[in-house]
Chain A
Amino acid sequence: MTLLSIDWFFIIEKILLISAVLVLSLVVAMYSTWGERKVAAWIQDRLGPNRAGPMGLLQPLADGGKLFFKEEIIPTNSNPFLFILGPSIAMVVACMTSAVIPWGDTLTIAGRTISLQVADVNIGILFIFGVVSMGVYGIMVGGWASNNKYSLLASVRAASQIISYELPMGLALIALLMLTGTLSLKEIVEQQRHDLWNVVYQPLGFFIFLICAFAECNRTPFDLPEAENELNGGYHLEYSSMKLGFFLFAEYINMFISSALMATMYFGGYAFPYMDSLGLSPNMISLLGFAALFIKTLLFIFFFMWVRWTIPRFRYDQLMRLGWKVLIPLALANMLITGGVVLLRQH
Chain B
Amino acid sequence: MQALTNRAKPVDRRPMTFMEKLYVPAIAKGMGITLKHLFQRKATVSFPEKKRDFSPVFRGLHVLNRDEEGRERCTACGLCAVACPAEAITMEAAERKTGEENLYREEKYAARYEINMLRCIFCGFCEEACPKDAIYMSETFAPSNYQRKGFIYGKDDLLIPDPKTGK
Tell me the A residues contacting B by CB distance below 8 Å: 39, 41-47, 50, 306-307, 309-311
- Docked-complex contact A311 and B27, CB < 8 angstroms: yes
State how many angstroms separate the Cβ of A272 from the closest Cβ of chain B. 24
- List 25 A–B pairs whose Cβ atoms lie within 8 Å, in order of A's numbering: A39-B38, A41-B42, A42-B37, A42-B38, A42-B39, A42-B42, A43-B34, A43-B38, A45-B40, A45-B42, A45-B43, A45-B44, A46-B42, A46-B43, A47-B42, A47-B44, A50-B46, A306-B35, A307-B31, A310-B27, A310-B30, A310-B31, A310-B34, A311-B27, A311-B30
Tell me the B residues contacting A by CB distance below 8 Å: 27, 30-31, 33-35, 37-44, 46
Supply 4 further A-B pairs (C-beta < 8 A) apart from A42-B39, A44-B37, A306-B34. Answer: A45-B40, A45-B42, A45-B44, A47-B46
User: Chain A residues with Cβ under 8 A from B37's Cβ?
Assistant: 42-45
User: Chain A residues with Cβ under 8 A from B46's Cβ?
Assistant: 47, 50
Q: Which chain B residue lies CB-closest to A45?
A: B43
State how many angstroms separate the Cβ of B29 from the closest Cβ of chain A. 10
User: Chain B residues with Cβ under 8 A from A307's Cβ?
Assistant: 31
Q: Which chain A residue lies CB-closest to B31?
A: A310
Task: Name the residue in B27, B40, B41, B44 with the highest tally of chain A Cβ atoms < 10 Å from its Cβ.
Answer: B44
The distance in angstroms between the C-alpha atoms of A42 and B43, with both chains bound, is 10
User: Chain A residues with Cβ under 8 A from B41's Cβ?
Assistant: 45
State how many angstroms separate the Cβ of A317 from the closest Cβ of chain B. 15
The distance in angstroms between the C-alpha atoms of A311 and B39, with both chains bound, is 19
Task: Name the residue in B34, B37, B39 with the highest tally of chain A Cβ atoms < 10 Å from its Cβ.
Answer: B34
State how many angstroms separate the Cβ of B109 from the closest Cβ of chain A. 47
The distance in angstroms between the C-alpha atoms of A45 and B37, with both chains bound, is 6
The distance in angstroms between the C-alpha atoms of A276 and B48, with both chains bound, is 54
Identify the 3 closest CB pairs spanning chains A and B, nearest first. Answer: A47-B44, A310-B34, A43-B34
User: Chain B residues with Cβ under 8 A from A41's Cβ?
Assistant: 42
User: Chain A residues with Cβ under 8 A from B33's Cβ?
Assistant: 310
The distance in angstroms between the C-alpha atoms of A39 and B31, with both chains bound, is 13
State how many angstroms separate the Cβ of B42 from the closest Cβ of chain A. 5
User: Chain A residues with Cβ under 8 A from B39's Cβ?
Assistant: 42
The distance in angstroms between the C-alpha atoms of A200 and B39, with both chains bound, is 30
- Docked-complex contact A309 and B34, CB < 8 angstroms: yes
The distance in angstroms between the C-alpha atoms of A42 and B37, with both chains bound, is 7
The distance in angstroms between the C-alpha atoms of A44 and B39, with both chains bound, is 10
The distance in angstroms between the C-alpha atoms of A310 and B28, with both chains bound, is 10
State how many angstroms separate the Cβ of A86 from the closest Cβ of chain B. 33
State how many angstroms separate the Cβ of A266 from the closest Cβ of chain B. 18
User: Chain B residues with Cβ under 8 A from A306's Cβ?
Assistant: 31, 34-35
User: Chain A residues with Cβ under 8 A from B40's Cβ?
Assistant: 45
State how many angstroms separate the Cβ of A277 from the closest Cβ of chain B. 34
The distance in angstroms between the C-alpha atoms of A47 and B40, with both chains bound, is 11
The distance in angstroms between the C-alpha atoms of A311 and B30, with both chains bound, is 8
State how many angstroms separate the Cβ of B5 from the closest Cβ of chain A. 29
State how many angstroms separate the Cβ of A50 from the closest Cβ of chain B. 8
Q: Which chain A residue lies CB-closest to B38?
A: A42
State how many angstroms separate the Cβ of B20 from the closest Cβ of chain A. 14
State how many angstroms separate the Cβ of A326 from the closest Cβ of chain B. 10
Contact for A46 among B27, B31, B34, B44, CB less than 8 A: B44
The distance in angstroms between the C-alpha atoms of A124 and B86, with both chains bound, is 72
State how many angstroms separate the Cβ of B31 from the closest Cβ of chain A. 5
State how many angstroms separate the Cβ of B30 from the closest Cβ of chain A. 5
The distance in angstroms between the C-alpha atoms of A47 and B46, with both chains bound, is 9
The distance in angstroms between the C-alpha atoms of A294 and B114, with both chains bound, is 64
The distance in angstroms between the C-alpha atoms of A307 and B23, with both chains bound, is 14
User: Chain B residues with Cβ under 8 A from A47's Cβ?
Assistant: 42, 44, 46
Q: Which chain B residue lies CB-closest to A303?
A: B31
The distance in angstroms between the C-alpha atoms of A307 and B41, with both chains bound, is 21
The distance in angstroms between the C-alpha atoms of A306 and B41, with both chains bound, is 18
Task: Name the residue in B37, B38, B41 with the highest tally of chain A Cβ atoms < 10 Å from its Cβ.
Answer: B38
The distance in angstroms between the C-alpha atoms of A244 and B33, with both chains bound, is 33
The distance in angstroms between the C-alpha atoms of A310 and B30, with both chains bound, is 6
